[in-house]
A and B are shown apart, each in its own frame.
Chain A
Amino acid sequence: MTSHAASGLTRDQHEETSKAAQRLADRWLVAGTALMGTLVFGLIGLPMFLRGLWLQRGAEQEGLSVRPAIVTLIGYLVILDAFINSIGWALDLLANHSLLNRVFFTAWGNYADNGYFWQYNELMVGGTAAPGEKAWEVTCIFVVFPMRIAAAIAFLQMKRWGHQWLVVTCWFGVVIWVGYVANMTMYADIRFAGTLLPVFGWWLFDVFYITPFLAIPYLHTVNREIFAD
């Protein structure tokens, strides 16, 4: 009846083989995500990530007990989202006078959000001077993103608390997006005036960061019994 019986393995052998297959796939998935998380090496990381997905799919087709593909996608993309956001904001918070930051972050600012160009590095702590922006950086870097990465790791390990905390942090994502966009809109004269692509450019860049929102309907409709206590 069960797949391990069908493949002629004992239950223990089936579990061992499944674990090994998942671990092999995870190696590729982790390496791919780490490279994609740097932003600039994403094109190297993506094929590695896809190979991990492909290995996992192959194991599933062989009847092994591996994670569902959508759990893998959500878990790793939530981590990726947190890493890419953290890199940019951590640079602005801690390395705002480095040349790379003063060239590329302010260039990005001038393209999509002049909050990262206007009066830049005038604030006592340096970096963006847009009203409210530093508060979002601190909130997200020190609270939301670490919480989200921890939750996503446990979610990938199919743990119950990983599922529960991913629900919490993904809803937190709604709070930060609504708060952030509202704050940005209040100061639109600073943030969008003089940019290359006002408003549209910001959405064009940021719309791909909606994975935590896409996770919410899944997290609320998945059969929670698959996540172990």
Chain B
Amino acid sequence: MSRSSTDAGSGTESDQELPLGTTPQFARMHRLLRIAITVCLFGLVIEGAFTVPALAIWYGYPTLSLTEICDEFMKVRWNDETATCEYPYPIGGPPYGGKGEGTERTTASTTWGVQPKSNLPRIGFRELVRNRERRAGR
């Protein structure tokens, strides 16, 4: 493991207070890096913890179940009101074999070319819930 600071540093009195391996000329930079890394740590954890529930709420949970959200995504993605989310998907599906849920679908609004354009609409806050209610109303 590590050695004590007097073994590895330059050994002068001025760097006695510095962390092991940090020389006086880089002490400030190392301190700033430590702060930036700590900010990243908190950032990763906070965004990690809140992204999943925030996305679920935006796209309609708990009014819509996960399968229903998956279903609504299919309808938007393939621009096709008859597209459904097959669940559970056969275990032999991609990447282990078989056809993917999107294979051979031709209804998406993509403009094809060397630089394809998706033409996907932006999905607003709980818009999938309204889409489903509108469809049920018809």
Q: Which residues does A use to contact B, with CB under 8 Å? A: 1-4, 15, 18-19, 22, 36, 39-43, 45-46, 49, 65-71, 73-74, 77, 80-81, 84, 93-94, 96-100, 102-104, 106-108, 110-111, 114, 117-127, 129, 157-158, 187, 189-190, 193-196, 205, 207-211, 214-215, 217-218, 221-223, 225-226
B51 contacts A208, CB within 8 Å?
A: no
Question: Which residue on B lies nearest to A46, using beta carbons?
Answer: B45
The interface residues of chain A lying within 8 Å CB-to-CB of B48 are 36, 39-40, 42, 84
Total A-B residue contacts, Cβ distance less than 8 Å: 224
A99 contacts B1, CB within 8 Å?
A: no
B74: shortest Cβ distance to chain A, in Å? 9
The contact of B110 among A1, A4, A118, A158, by CB within 8 Å, is A118
Cα A193 to Cα B123 in complex, Å, equals: 11
A117 contacts B44, CB within 8 Å?
A: no
B133: shortest Cβ distance to chain A, in Å? 19
B117 contacts A96, CB within 8 Å?
A: no
B73 contacts A106, CB within 8 Å?
A: yes
A223 contacts B8, CB within 8 Å?
A: yes
Closest 4 CB pairs of A and B: A126-B94, A122-B102, A194-B120, A208-B43
Q: Interface 1/0s, chain B 1-14, versus A by CB < 8 A?
A: 11110111100000
The contact of B116 among A71, A84, A126, A189, by CB within 8 Å, is A189
The contact of B52 among A40, A117, A196, A210, by CB within 8 Å, is A40
Residues 1-59 (chain B) with a chain A CB within 8 angstroms: 1-4, 6-9, 19-23, 26, 29-30, 33-34, 36-38, 40-49, 51-52, 55-56, 58-59
Counting CB contacts under 8 A, is B82 at the interface?
Answer: no
B46: shortest Cβ distance to chain A, in Å? 8
Cα A45 to Cα B116 in complex, Å, equals: 42
The contact of A68 among B21, B69, B93, B123, by CB within 8 Å, is B21
A205 contacts B95, CB within 8 Å?
A: no
The interface residues of chain A lying within 8 Å CB-to-CB of B8 are 223, 225-226
The interface residues of chain B lying within 8 Å CB-to-CB of A187 are 115-116
The interface residues of chain B lying within 8 Å CB-to-CB of A103 are 56, 59, 66, 69-70, 73
Question: Which residue on B lies nearest to A222, using beta carbons?
Answer: B21
B88 contacts A70, CB within 8 Å?
A: no
Q: Interface 1/0s, chain B 94-135, versus A by CB < 8 A?
A: 110000111101001010000111111111000000000000
The contact of B1 among A41, A66, A189, A225, by CB within 8 Å, is A66
